[in-house]
Amino acid sequence: MAHRASLQWFWDAPASARRGLFAAWLGWVLDAFDVMLYALVLGAVIQDFSLSKATAGLLGSLTLIASGFGGILFGMMADRFGRRPALSGSLLVYSVFTFACGLSSTVWQLGLFRFLLGLGMGGEWTTGAALVSETWPDAHRGKAMGLMQCGWSIGYAAAALVTALVLPRFGWRAVFFVGIVPAFVAIWIRRGIDESPEWTRSRAARRGARSPIRVIFTPQYLRLTALLTALSTTTIFAYWGLNLWIPAYFSLPQSQGGLALGTGVATMLVVLIQIGTFFGYVSFGFVADAFGRRRSFVIYILTAAVLVLGFGQTRQVWLLALLGPVTTFFGTGFFSGFGAVTAELYPTAIRATAQGFTYNVGRMGSALAPFVIGSLAETRGFGAAFGLLAVALVLGAMTWIWLPESRGGDAAAPAGARVAGA
């Protein structure tokens, strides 16, 4: 009974809101599952195609570049056609092309399929975040977004377990074939959840209105758009620079700067790290709802910067097992707040477009991370490479000098009044 009481805010929500949250959560779980398969088989792909770390990182960067385009594209589709069809369409795109990665016979084919799946990857967060933020009240929006965001860590951990089972027996291609699973979930989302009531109500008012992509660059929103894009660029740079290379860092031989850990030990560490990520995502929603968005973001980001420096200098397995989850707790938890902040600063008619642009253009800006970190690790070692990520996090924290506190904003209300009074 005590457990249910602690989740009373969840059970008090309408059933349609809970279904929407579950759909967005499940889509994010499977998004992480599909996207992170590449990081988990990266060592095998490097050996099979005789890739340099820089080239392997470049393939990861292609996915992030595509996710930026996908986030904008699916965000515009969500504002025009609805959250539900855009969400199911994004799942279908990334699942089909994850499967196609297993059919690649050349590096160019693999790069093309990674680019195409990135389109769907960017679209899933954009549409899911819009759906959840519009169906949950301000008092619980941060917590709902935290539950959605924690799906990423579950998907990443599931991908690690599947890779550990499939890779040694059937090779890296078979690992990608498992990625077709989200296509079946897309069918359920299209038929099993309700459209956002807020989007439906605002649909008539949008007829004849200016394009949302133009509105977010008007003087009223330009400053917000630029700052939120800078925040996402710096922090997502740090995320991908660390998380795409962690599995390879664990598995590569010491002659290549890695730790040469066995598959079992490396999988255990990845799962432990994702446990830290899970609790970071969930906790941030409660912290941000209680203490405000600005203060919570700054504390989490700056703490992460310090921890990333320590992680890059650690080579003992037991210490990595302790430090890794704490690092990702702070280093990823704040991503739960992105959807709530954009929902509270932009009105319904342009919300998905604004979320798609600011978050996913940030992904595009961070696309250099896998390549830069791979290149720096090859010449200076992983310690120096991870140190660069700490610098990026500090720069991200600095954007909150100018960003307004958004807690208490009504996701359906015009943003201009809130910004002016912040």
pLDDT given for residue 78 in this prediction:
84
Confidence of residue 418 (pLDDT cuts 50, 70, 90): very low
Interval 84-109: pLDDT, tens: 888 888 888 888 898 999 898 888 89
pLDDT given for residue 343 in this prediction:
79
Q: Is the pLDDT of residue 410 over 70?
A: no
Interval 319-335: pLDDT, tens: 888 999 999 999 988 98
Residue 35 identity (one-letter amino acid) = V
Helix (H) or strand (E) holding 48: helix 15-49
For residue 134 the two structure tokens come to: 């519009």
Tell me the average pLDDT across 172-177: 90
Helix (H) or strand (E) holding 220: none
What percentage of the chain has pLDDT greater than the value 70? 91
Question: Residue 208 has what DSSP assignment?
Answer: T
Q: How far apart are CA 117 and CA 63, in angstroms?
A: 7
Tell me the average pLDDT across 20-33: 83
In 3D space, the residue among 154, 136, 156 whose CA is nearest the CA of residue 145 turns out to be 136
Tell me the average pLDDT across 149-171: 85
- Verdict on whether the full-model pTM lies above 0.75: no
Q: What is the distance between the terminal CA atoms of the chain, rounded to a whole angstrom?
A: 40
Question: Which of 55-59, 101-105, 152-156: highest mean pLDDT?
Answer: 101-105
Q: Is the pLDDT of residue 415 over 50?
A: no
DSSP codes, 154-204: HHHHHHHHHHHHHHHHH-HHHHHHGGGTHHHHHHHHHHHSPPPHHHHHHTG
Question: Which of 16-25, 295-304, 374-383: highest mean pLDDT?
Answer: 295-304
Residues in the chain: 422
Interval 190-220: pLDDT, tens: 677 777 777 777 776 555 567 778 889 999 9
Q: Are 286 and 143 in contact, with CB atoms under 8 Å apart? A: yes
Interval 336-380: pLDDT, tens: 888 788 878 888 778 878 887 888 788 787 778 877 888 888 888
pLDDT given for residue 290 in this prediction:
85
pLDDT given for residue 300 in this prediction:
96
Please report, to the nearest 10 degrees, the dihedral formed by the alpha carbons of residues 67, 68, 71, 73 taken in order: -110
- Alpha carbon 222 to its chain's center: 24
Interval 267-284: pLDDT, tens: 888 888 888 988 998 888
C-alpha distances in Å from residue 103, one per residue of 108, 117, 172: 12, 14, 10
Domains and CATH numbers, the chain: 16-196+212-420 (1.20.1250.20)
Question: Residue 255 has what DSSP assignment?
Answer: G
List, in order, residues 6 or more apart from 2 with CB less than 8 Å away: none
Tell which wins on pLDDT, 299 or 373.
299
Confidence of residue 58 (pLDDT cuts 50, 70, 90): confident
Q: How far apart are CA 221 and CA 223, in angstroms?
A: 6
In 3D space, the residue among 244, 277, 333, 282 whose CA is nearest the CA of residue 10 turns out to be 282
pLDDT given for residue 2 in this prediction:
47
Tell which wins on pLDDT, 421 or 286.
286
Tell me the average pLDDT across 244-260: 73
Question: Which of 109-118, 200-209, 410-419: highest mean pLDDT?
Answer: 109-118
Question: Which of 14-23, 173-182, 278-287, 388-397: highest mean pLDDT?
Answer: 388-397
Residue 353: other Cβ atoms inside 10 A: 27
pLDDT given for residue 208 in this prediction:
55
Q: Are 360 and 31 in contact, with CB atoms under 8 Å apart? A: no
Q: How far apart are CA 188 and CA 156, in angstroms?
A: 22
Residue labelled with tokens 């990665």 = 101
Q: Is the pLDDT of residue 12 over 80?
A: no
pLDDT given for residue 422 in this prediction:
28
pLDDT given for residue 4 in this prediction:
52
- Average pLDDT of the chain is 82
Q: Is the pLDDT of residue 311 over 90?
A: no
pLDDT given for residue 419 in this prediction:
35
Q: Is the pLDDT of residue 398 over 90?
A: yes
Confidence of residue 258 (pLDDT cuts 50, 70, 90): low
